[in-house]
């Protein structure tokens, strides 16, 4: 199997490198098997007109088969909540959705990705264009409609991924959907970290998604993704989208500096 090359893959001894290739193949087969089962079960649920749990369960299985366990801290709000989290890699999406059942606001470029785009659609992903400033108003309206549905919504306000060494500036535009907020809606910031493995997880620079995918699935050491659910707040108490964005960033930044709290595995 031809494997993508990347300067970010550390030097391994030959045995570890071979073991990593076998691990990649095994995890890829497990992922394909869970996808096949998930598609069949999802369509059965649709035939009987029942809400399907299978997109969420498949996304959770993606994190498991990638070698990532999940743990949480804090009290997660389950309804009438708008999540905002920091962002490291594509794997943040299955980790976050697997734990919370949320849908996402994602760059519209992902919509055309083979398979991944389709999976995003069945999980009710809201696609936005970050380049087309003229469409922001329409995007806010779509987001506001989604917030009144059964699934909580998550945004990554940094707008791109990074190595976890700090927070990037937040893009406040989508927080306009909370001005004013739907009745009873709270904002819950989420600090997501992979601990000392975060630089390994991070999808940054000019690295292709296939390279990041291979690096993650061929990694031999166990990884834990910890989602720190921080204290929620009422966005109605803030004057505008920039103030809400700044409050989210301050809370995630404080949690990042403090290293989070004791976690529980899920």
Q: According to the model, what pLDDT value does residue 83 have?
A: 97
Q: According to the model, what pLDDT value does residue 3 have?
A: 40
Compare 135 and 190 and report the one with higher pLDDT: 190
Arithmetic mean of pLDDT, 14-37: 89
The yes-or-no verdict on residue 90 having pLDDT over 70 is: yes
User: What letter does residue 111 receive in the DSSP assignment?
Assistant: G
Q: According to the model, what pLDDT value does residue 265 have?
A: 52
- Rounded to whole angstroms, how far apart are CA atoms 204 and 262? 29
- Taking all residues of the chain, what is their mean pLDDT, rounded to a whole number? 85
pLDDT (tens digit per residue) in 105-118: 877 777 777 666 77
The full set of domain ranges for the chain reads: 68-265
The yes-or-no verdict on residue 213 having pLDDT over 50 is: yes
Which of 43-57, 82-96, 127-141, 166-180 is the least confident region?
127-141
Q: According to the model, what pLDDT value does residue 26 have?
A: 93
- In 206-218, which positions are buried (b, 16+ CB within 10 angstroms) versus exposed (e)? ebeeebbbbbbbb
Q: What is the pTM of this model?
A: 0.86
Q: Is 192 helix (H, G, I), strand (E, B) or coil?
A: strand
Order of all β-strands in the sheet with 186-193: 126-128, 103-107, 153-155, 81-85, 186-193, 223-229, 68-73, 264-265
Arithmetic mean of pLDDT, 229-247: 97
Q: Highest mean pLDDT range out of 15-29, 66-80, 112-126?
A: 66-80
The yes-or-no verdict on residue 135 having pLDDT over 80 is: no
């Amino acid at each position: 199997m031809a494997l993508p090359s990347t300067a970010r893959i550390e030097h391994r001894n030959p045995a570890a490198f071979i073991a990593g290739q076998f691990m990649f193949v095994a995890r890829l087969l497990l992922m394909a098997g869970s996808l096949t089962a998930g598609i069949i079960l999802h369509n059965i649920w649709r035939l009987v007109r029942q809400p399907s749990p299978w997109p969420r369960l498949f996304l959770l299985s993606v994190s498991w088969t990638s070698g990532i366990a999940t743990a949480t801290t804090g009290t997660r709000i389950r309804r009438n909540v708008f999540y905002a989290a920091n962002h490291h890699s594509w794997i943040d999406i299955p980790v976050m959705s697997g734990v919370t059942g949320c849908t996402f606001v994602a760059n519209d470029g992902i919509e055309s990705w083979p398979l991944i785009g389709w999976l995003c659609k069945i999980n009710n992903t809201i696609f936005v264009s970050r380049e087309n400033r003229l469409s922001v108003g329409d995007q806010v309206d779509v987001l506001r409609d989604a917030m009144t549905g059964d699934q909580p919504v998550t945004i990554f306000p940094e707008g791109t991924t990074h190595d976890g060494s700090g927070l990037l500036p937040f893009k406040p535009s989508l927080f306009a959907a909370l001005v004013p907020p739907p009745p009873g809606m709270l904002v819950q910031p989420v600090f997501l970290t992979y601990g000392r493995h975060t630089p390994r997880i991070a999808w940054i620079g000019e690295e292709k998604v296939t390279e990041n995918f291979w690096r993650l699935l061929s990694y031999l050491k166990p990884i834990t993704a910890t989602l720190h659910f921080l204290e929620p707040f009422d966005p109605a108490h803030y004057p505008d989208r920039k103030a809400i964005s700044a409050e989210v960033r301050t809370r995630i930044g404080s949690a990042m500096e403090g290293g989070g709290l004791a976690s529980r595995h899920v």
